[in-house]
Amino acid sequence: MNYRIFPPEELPECSITLPLSKSMSARAVIINTLQHADMQDMRLSDCTDTEAILRGINTLSGTVNVDNSGTSMRFLTSFYAATPGAEVELDGCERMRQRPIAPLVQALKECGASIQYLGQEGFPPLKIRGSRLKGGHISVDATISSQFISALMMTAPYMEQGLKISLDGETSSRPYILMTAEMMNRAGASVEIDSGSIIIQPIPYTTPIDSIEPDWSAAGFWYEIEALTSGFITLEGQLHPSVQGDALTARIFSSLGVDTEYTDSGAELVASPELSPRLQLDLSATPDLAPALVVTCVMLRIPFNFSGMESLTVKECDRVEALCREMLLVGAVLDASLPGILSWDGVPRPIQALPEFSSYSDHRMAMALAPVAAYLPGIIIREAECVAKSYPDFWEQMRLAGFIVQDENDPIPPQFADLQ
């Protein structure tokens, strides 16, 4: 499905209901399942990632395919390994078979897990036979994905000795680890974290997780839209305080012309004249914000230097490479010559044609590129359906904000007839 997008005729004025956090939902599913809690009436994110992990926890034998859900692959690997009687072949799409999982598998094996690679060493698919794990003290490479750490943490209360995890290297997406610890402690576990280690006692969960916050990573795309349109956008739901690391979105976008006013029912995004002349950020704690930030800076002609981008190369696509390619279409030559760093000098080049963007079947790429329509009416987003991974209602809510989102082959709206 390819969409052509046109901007609102007036400044966007809308109230947006964000999806529930898929990160919190995935953790709640694992934590609640391990304590045999009833989740029948629990409100969770309705995205395909959550659907994948729900299918997984209800399938303890045979083949489980998580498609492109990296969260499900990592969390279910640990869940199956720690569930006595489980015997599963865990697989995913072709891209999933290119995403590394060796640090998690090695750590689980050191805890006593039975896991075999069915294809290339270090990558899915996996053959997993579950048992009660012994736990103990392990070291894990923390530079690739915080989800390896979270996956181990959530099953640790059921290991015979509990678990001490020593973190090797600069921890990627540390706020997600802190969110996992917060949810585990809320559920009755005992988790202690310092700068270089995590200690989980062998104390099972006692209290189900019963509420999920709105998704701050989804909110980032509305901050982007506000930065590019100076509209009147309200985000509904309890956004502050939040356990999500991506709540830093509000502070970061204050340098890009968007202020946040929290209310009892959500947050109002307010256009501000304050624009940073140059943005320099370490995104190692919040890498999912990178696509929206890069596109915003390019369209506002704000030079930037973003470090901490290492984990973006192993997402649904290589987001660093994808951003470099797609920003060329809007006249920006990004520099990714240094590992983990993406920068731009702020100098635009001529645009050769109206962009037809590839999403790379990556939900965050599709959503980050869509607001470019505010500056370049009629852009195309290819494989637009991929947003269902985290935000199924995104296109409908863009329409609510006044954008015209239509099939690429539909007639051009009359007000944009000069584009033909």
Q: 365-398 burial by CB neighbour count: b if 16+ within 10 A, else e? A: bbbbbbbbbbebbbbbbbbbbbbbbbbbbbbebb
What local confidence, expressed as pLDDT, does residue 170 receive?
Answer: 82
What local confidence, expressed as pLDDT, does residue 41 receive?
Answer: 85
In this structure, the strands spanning 136-141 and 163-168 are parallel
Record the tokens describing residue 21, joined without a space.
């956090």
What are the domain boundaries of the chain? 3-19+213-409, 22-200
- Per-residue pLDDT of 16-65, as tens digits, reads 999 999 999 999 999 999 999 998 889 999 999 999 999 999 999 999 99
Widest CA span in the chain: 70
What local confidence, expressed as pLDDT, does residue 40 receive?
Answer: 85
| Closest residue by Cα to residue 311 from 145, 107, 180, 114 | 145
For 80, other C-beta atoms within 10 Å of its C-beta total 29
- Average pLDDT on 324-348 reads 97
pLDDT surpasses 70 at 420: no
- List alpha helices for 134-265, DSSP H: 146-155, 174-186, 216-229, 249-253
- Per-residue pLDDT of 240-268, as tens digits, reads 999 999 999 999 999 999 999 999 999 99
Whole-number percent of the chain with pLDDT over 70 = 100
pLDDT surpasses 80 at 419: no
Using CA atoms, how far apart are residues 121 and 116, in angstroms rounded to an integer? 9
CA distances from residue 337 to 15, 73, 74, 279, 343 in whole angstroms, order as listed: 41, 31, 30, 18, 9
pLDDT bracket for residue 345 (50, 70, 90): very high
Using CA atoms, how far apart are residues 123 and 209, in angstroms rounded to an integer? 31
- Average pLDDT on 318-345 reads 97
pLDDT surpasses 90 at 169: no
Using CA atoms, how far apart are residues 151 and 112, in angstroms rounded to an integer? 15
Q: Mapping DSSP to helix (H, G, I), strand (E, B) and coil, where does residue 238 land? A: coil
Strands (E), 237-349: 256-263, 266-275, 279-282, 304-307, 342-344
Q: What is the mean pLDDT of the chain?
A: 95
- Average pLDDT on 156-177 reads 93
Non-local CB neighbours of 164 within 8 Å, separated by 6+ positions: 136, 137, 138, 197, 198, 199, 200
Q: Identify the CATH assignment for 22-200 out of 3.40.5.50, 3.40.190.10, 3.65.10.10, 3.30.70.20.
A: 3.65.10.10
What local confidence, expressed as pLDDT, does residue 30 receive?
Answer: 98
| Closest residue by Cα to residue 222 from 419, 358, 379, 18 | 18
- Per-residue pLDDT of 69-109, as tens digits, reads 999 999 999 999 999 999 999 999 999 999 999 999 999 99
Active site residues: 288
Using CA atoms, how far apart are residues 166 and 199, in angstroms rounded to an integer? 9
Class (C level, CATH) for 3-19+213-409: alpha beta
What local confidence, expressed as pLDDT, does residue 392 receive?
Answer: 96
Q: Mapping DSSP to helix (H, G, I), strand (E, B) and coil, where does residue 13 land? A: strand
Using CA atoms, how far apart are residues 238 and 340, in angstroms rounded to an integer? 33
What local confidence, expressed as pLDDT, does residue 403 receive?
Answer: 98
CB-based contact 53:71 (threshold 8 Å): yes
Amino acid at 77: T
Reported as half-sphere exposure (CB side, CA atoms, 13 A), residue 224 has a value of 30
Whole-number percent of the chain with pLDDT over 90 = 92
Q: Which one has a higher pLDDT value, 215 or 352?
A: 215
Q: Do domains 3-19+213-409 and 22-200 have the same CATH topology?
A: yes
Q: Which one has a higher pLDDT value, 223 or 39?
A: 223
